[in-house]
Amino acid sequence: MHYTQLGRSGLKVSRLALGTMNFGDATEEAAAYEIMDMAMEAGINFFDTADVYGGPQRPDMAKGYGLSEEIIGRWLAQGARRDKIVLATKLYQPMDYGPNDRYLSAYHIRRACEASLRRLKTDHIDIYQMHHIDRLTPWEEIWQAMEVLIWQGKISYIGSSNFAAWQLATAQGAAAARHMLGLVSEQSLYNLNARMVELEVLPACRYHGLGVLPWSPLGGGLLGGVLAKSVGKRRAAQADRIAKYRPQIEAYEALCREMDEQPANIALAWLLHNPAVTAPILGVRTKAQLLETLRAPDIALPAEILAKLDTIWPGPGGEAPEAYAW
């Protein structure tokens, strides 16, 4: 496994991150333990979760929330594993029905962190991430609450997810005014079929020294060899998306066959070739899916292959403003 620093921080993480959104939902606890064991044995030291993972993610349904963190916590309690991984979790989404059981108020930040620590059975979170921007809570309040958690030793670094470029810049400006490190990472939707972040988010991350952690790196399965897989519930649910992108998927999978590589690995290798990207987040459901993707960091994509991928999956045309103006 290869390692790199997370943004401008001194923290070193594996080039692949284990995403645990499926734990407690699509992946049962015993299988989740096996996946985490395999990941650690393969050298993946970066585990990503969220307080809301593990059950129905709807504002009117709290049942099942926290299961992913609980599963990770019970796995950590089985042995001396905690200090071998970089543990990241998130807050923002509704965890109960009360008006303060969500978002980024100081009230909720404190309570959400303490609840995550209990579920994870640990005394600290390595990277505490804001799952979405809170347009109503001022940055002075957010950063003050995060500072308290840092002083208490409950969190070490702070990250964001699903932020726009201007929101990243605003957050970093407010942090600098408090003489804080601020954000060290941003999780964004980014894959061959979803490249809008190339316009402004990636340049903002590069400027501010934030590591980029792409979520859904396989485009919800579209980039994972979907046409070659047997028809099942998940593929049936994707029927409309497959039909929409079928010509591109066919060209993509044909190119992967020419390269004698698995489509999932090419999709991940394409992300990893971008210097802005720290580690794609693997949302695996099984050990087989994890094993299939471990080769990705070792794949080098020549310029001609990158050009072909750009033809099949065109991006927004580069960075703003040159992508749309002179």
> Tokens 């400027």 appear where?
207
163, 133 in Cβ contact below 8 A? Answer: yes
Q: How many structural domains does the chain have? A: 1
Is 207 one of the annotated active-site residues of the chain? no
What's the distance, Cα to Cα, between the start and end of the chain in Å? 42
In a domain, 320, yes or no: no
Domain for residue 69, yes or no? yes
The CATH number given to whatever domain includes residue 83 is: 3.20.20.100
pTM here?
Answer: 0.94
Per-residue tokens: 265: 């690995």
Domain that holds residue 98: 3-312
Q: Report the C-alpha gap between 199 and 318 in whole angstroms.
A: 6
Q: Would you state the pLDDT for residue 181?
A: 97
Mean pLDDT (the chain) is 94
In a domain, 299, yes or no: yes
Contact 87, 93 (CB under 8 A): no
Task: Give me the helices (H) in the chain, please.
Answer: 29-41, 67-76, 106-120, 139-151, 165-177, 201-208, 233-237, 239-259, 263-272, 287-293, 303-312
Q: Whose CA is closest to 91, among 166, 182, 187?
A: 187
Which residue bears the tokens 């970066």? 46
pLDDT digits (tens, 9 = 90+) for 119-169: 999 999 999 999 999 999 999 999 999 999 999 999 999 999 999 999 999
Q: b/e for 93-129, b at 16 or more Cβ within 10 A?
A: bbbeeeeebbbbbbebbebbbebbbebbebebbbbbb
> Which of 19, 17, 20, 93 lies closest to 52 in space, CA to CA?
93
| Domain-located, residue 317 | no
CA distance 239 to 316: 25
> 277 forms bridges with which residues in the sheet?
212
Contacts of 294 (CB under 8 A, 6+ apart): 1, 16, 42
In-domain check, residue 323: no
Domain assignment of residue 218, yes or no? yes
Convert the pLDDT of each residue in 248-260 to its tens digit: 999 999 999 999 9
Token match 């020419």: residue?
258
Predicted confidence at residue 25, as pLDDT, reads 86
Q: What are phi and psi of 91, to 5 degrees?
A: -140, 160
Neighbouring residues of 163: CB distance < 8 A, sequence distance ≥ 6: 130, 132, 133, 171, 186, 188, 201
Q: Is residue 319 part of a domain?
A: no
Do the domain assignments include residue 322? no
pLDDT tens across the length of the chain (326 residues):
999 999 999 999 999 999 999 998 889 999 999 999 999 999 999 999 999 998 765 555 555 689 999 999 999 999 889 999 999 999 999 888 889 999 999 999 999 999 999 999 999 999 999 999 999 999 999 999 999 999 999 999 999 999 999 999 999 999 999 999 999 999 999 999 999 999 999 999 999 999 999 999 999 999 999 998 756 666 666 888 999 999 999 999 999 999 999 999 999 999 999 999 999 999 999 999 999 999 999 999 999 999 999 999 999 999 999 999 98
Please provide residue 162's backbone torsions phi and psi, each rounded to the nearest 5 degrees. Answer: 65, 30
The active-site residue out of 3, 53, 97, 128 is 53
Q: Which helix (H) or strand (E) holds 161?
A: strand 155-161
What residues are paired with 3 via a beta bridge? 14
d(CA 29, CA 276): 34
